[in-house]
Each structure stands twice: as C-alpha cells, then as structure tokens.
Structure 1
C-alpha cells in the first residue's frame, strides 16, 4: 500500500507539502497538480483514523434535521454530502420529529460521536434552545432560521421577496382577488412567504383583496384550500408548498378550470428548469443543492480556521420562472 512518502517522492515535492495538501491548505498550483496526479497513480488511500487522532478531528460533520423525507431536504443533504466527501469528510445524519427533549437527545448523540461541526436544518422554531447551542464547542451552521445567528453561521432564503414579486405581478396584470394557500404559521419559512404576499397587497394603491387559507403541507389541504378560494371568486392563486400545489391541480382538474385562461396559478417547486411543467404557471425554485453546498463550505472553513469569530448570515435568492404578462 502506498504511503505519504511514496506520494511525495513521485510528485517531487516535500513530505510537508503533501501533508499540507491533504489537510486542505493551498499550495502552488503546479505542486497541487503534481500531488493529485501522484495520489491517483499510486491509488493512495489516506488513513483517516490516524489522521484524525493526530489532528484531534473525526473528519465527520453532524447534520440534524426534521425534513429528511421532503424533496427539499433530500436535495440540501445531497449538496452537503457532495462538498463534504470532496474534502474527505463523512456526514452523520440524525433526524427528529418534534419535542425539545428528543432534539436535545439527538444533539447529544451527534456530539458523543465527536463530530467536527454541526449543521442544523430547521423547519420549525418552537424547539430551539439557544442555551444548548451555546454549550456546543464545535462550529455550527443553521439553515432556515435567523434566531441562531449569535451562536452559529446562518443561511437564509429570500422567500419573502420572491412571493412578493409573484403577487405584485398578479396585481400588475389586473387581478383584484388573489388566493394564497399558506403552510402552518409556526414555521419561520411559512411566515416569511405569507409576509411577502401581504406586503405586495399593502404596497399597491389598487383595490386588491388577498384571500388566505392555511393548509398543513398535504395534497388534501391543497385541494380543500383551492376549492374554498375558487368558490370565493379568486382569479389568481399562489400555493406556498409543492405538495399542496398538487392538490390544487387536482381541484382545477375536477372543476374543469384551465390554468392561464380561467385562473392564474403559481407555487413553490424543486425541479430544474428543464423539468418544469409546460403549463403557463409561475414557479419559485429554491436553490436547494446550492444551499447544502454553501452550508458545507462554510462549515469546512470554520473547521480549518477555528480562530474566525464574526458570524456569517448568507441570504440566498430563489429562481422565479414563468412570470410573463398575460
């Protein structure tokens, strides 16, 4: 089996240069290319256990989240895992459903496994115990919740602006009664999206009514909400969640409503631009995989430079597709 000395010899560089390369430090580009080629030719496999003992690292990142089964969650995880693996780190994933005690137990579980950093993917805020985060001695990155920014780097999505943009577009093309199906309002993301819709109504000088219905993330609630709002006479509808949007489409189909003719329609989606529906609808697409990649990159930066003190708050933009004048 090839050793680090074999790599250094074949690359024509010092042992220290190879060591610094393996630890993620920047070298001269020519030397980095020589080392990479030598590693490939020798099929060099780094001894992660020995490396971890020497550097007091486990080369693992903990991920705590409560939306593993959603497409949004899975794509974010994919982005985290991609960057982590490229940098020689593994991902230790721990999911939870609800309850502060259960979350505390999950955090303790990850810390007992000596993770080098913790990414917390939040979809609700009722369980957050900031004192728990204060006691954690490794870098923390939180997704979707701004309240942790004193204790952790935070990545947020500009959902409020995206929804405001869509509702403002409906107003500009003449809709006077607009429907909005929200998710439960204990969720930070759901609150931000609904605020965007309300701000669009408040900022116009036109006489426009916003009719709202609170769903529960299910197709059934999307169907029932759409049925109610259509009966209330809305001419445009925006659904703040993909699953509920499927229910809305089923309601349109049952009632014989044609999108783009009988009603304007928009919703959140997670498909690439080439996979979008051919229907004349608006979709807001969060940069799911990019969110994960950014979280992992920040985490690795913190691990490699523990002396960094200023916390980062990164606001990422969605992609709004299909917004054309009717």
Structure 2
C-alpha cells in the first residue's frame, strides 16, 4: 500500500501473500486513489490496422500501471462520437485518447466538459480544431516530401497524388510536403495532379480507375493504407502493369507489401513508438496533472524503398 516495511516484516508479508494466494484488488485500489483505473480510446472505425497496432503498444504501457483500455468505435459519425464522449465521461474514466473526425469541431462542447473535469485528452494522428490538447502524430509533411522527391528524382513528371478529406490537418501537411518536392525539382504546385477520395478502398479503385482510363499517370503517391490497396487493385485491373507502366508509393506496411509484385515502396509509421508515447504521456498527465500548454509529439515516419518505382532516367 505504499508504506515501507522492515526487512523482517517484509519477508513475513511476502510469505503470507504467497501462501494465501493474495491478488491485488484493483477496484479497491481505484477507490482509494479516486481513480477508475481505465482509459477510454475512441476510434472512427474498428477495421483500421493502423489504429490497432498503436493500441497493442499503448496497452503494454497501461498494463504496467494496472490500467485497462475501454475501446469504442464511433463509426465516423459526429452524433455517435458526442454520445460516446458523454458516455465515457459519466463512467469517470481517467483519460481519453481519441482518433478524431475530420470535422472534430462538432464535438467541442463534449470535449470541453472533459477539460473542465480535469480529464486529460490526447489526440492521435490529427489535431482537433478549436480544442487545445496533447497531440501525437507522424511526420507527414517530411515523409510526403521524401516520397514525392523519390518519384521525381527517378524521372517521373506525370504524378497523381491520391488523398482524401481536404479539411484535415493531416491532408494539409501531406500536401505541403508534396508541394515542396515539386518546387525542389523546378515545378509548381499547379503541376500536381490530385485525386480526392473518401479514404475507402472502393472509392480509390473507382477514382484511380477513371484516371488510368482517361489520362494515365506514370506514378501514384497514395496517402493511406486503403487508398494504396485500391491503387493496386485499380492498376492490376487495367491494361497497365504495376511498377512498369505505373509506379507506386503507398502508405503503411502490411503483410502483403513484399508479396505484391513488384514489392511496394511504402511510407511507414513507427506504430510501436506512437502507442508507447501515447501511454507514457497519458500516465504523466494522470499522475502529474494537465499543464497550461499542450504538448505536440512528432514520431518520424520512414520511406521504405523497395521495387515499385521505375526509373525513367
């Protein structure tokens, strides 16, 4: 219980614990500390491999402090998001980790109630506009610059940037990195061909398929996992060959990255660090309080070069 014991007494207590099979009562521990010993995690959808790999590493940190995760999916719906936020606040959770909507300002009133109650909030991957809280993300601008720079350096000029949701901070950062790469090579932002999608695989297949049928690019830079999968399906379903006629850089490592022929060059998050940093920061906020200024943590991403970008020069 946090008190020091003389060595003789410590040995006796340890022996008694072993003999009786004593287990710590975490509910009683929470009552004593006035904590629920639970962290809520809100996801836009359950199907994302990206978020689950983060959660696996987050849980490892929380378990060391006897905390559990309460995970919920708000189905990318602002009404359901507000409902889940209110539900968890009434459950007296000790902290909230949220993967926010593009229009996160729709839940600002609910989030402000968390702040008023002294409940720490961490936003993952994207900022919540209009609400100040800790924010952990990958280095989207830099790695997008590196990806497009790699494509341009290999002689490509007819490049399609396939992305989604113009209004998100993540999209803005990625597009800024793309623009910087074009400028480096003496091109203007007007030279960028952009395909806007809703981030689903089905929509990506349709939009990229239309581009391949009308005015095919020599290279695609896809800014999400599902867009990448849609691009592979679209190219393989066309008269063009992936890696020969149409080069591709995708987002996020997955089991088929090296099985697809040719092996895909991808932009990859450090999911282990994202999850670990979220857990460590949450524990710090719970134990030491919420400071006046929010913290931004950037976990660098990497460009893993494989075989899917053909050299034209």
Pair in the same fold by TM > 0.5: yes
> Which of residues 54, 59, 62 is equivalent to 1:84?
62
Report SS of the residue matched to 2:23: coil
* Alignment partner of 1:322 is 2:305: yes
Contact kept, 8 Å, 1:180 with 1:239, in 2: the verdict is yes
Give the Å deviation of 1:275: 5.6
Distance change in 2, residues 1:206/1:96 (3 Å): closer
Contact kept, 8 Å, 2:257 with 2:263, in 1: the verdict is no
How far apart are the structure 2 equivalents of 1:11 and 1:124? Answer: 59
How far apart are the structure 1 equivalents of 2:175 and 2:61? Answer: 33
How far apart are the structure 2 equivalents of 1:211 and 1:314? Answer: 31
Tell me which residue corresponds to 2:196: 214
Contact kept, 8 Å, 1:120 with 1:141, in 2: the verdict is yes
Cα offsets for 1:57-103 (capped at 9, x unmatched)? 11111112213221112222222222212220011122213454432
Question: Structure 1 length as normaliser, TM-score?
Answer: 0.79
Tell me which residue corresponds to 2:145: 164
Question: Structure 2 length as normaliser, TM-score?
Answer: 0.82
Tell me which residue corresponds to 2:186: 205
Greater mean alpha carbon deviation, residues 123-132 or residues 279-288: 123-132
Give the Å deviation of 1:255: 2.8
Cα offsets for 1:21-66 (capped at 9, x unmatched)? xxxxxxxxxxxxxx8x998898542111211111111111111221
Greater mean alpha carbon deviation, residues 64-73 or residues 294-303: 64-73
Structure 2: stretches of 5+ with no match in the other structure: none
How far apart are the structure 1 equivalents of 2:8 and 2:129? Answer: 45
Give the Å deviation of 1:175: 0.9
Contact kept, 8 Å, 1:286 with 1:317, in 2: the verdict is yes
Structure 1: stretches of 5+ with no match in the other structure: 19-34
How far apart are the structure 2 equivalents of 1:154 and 1:204? Answer: 32
Alignment of 1:216-231 (within 5 A): 216-230=198-212, 231=214
Tell me which residue corresponds to 2:226: 243
How far apart are the structure 1 equivalents of 2:106 and 2:237? Answer: 42
* Alignment partner of 1:138 is 2:138: no
How far apart are the structure 2 equivalents of 1:57 and 1:215? Answer: 43
Tell me which residue corresponds to 1:27: none
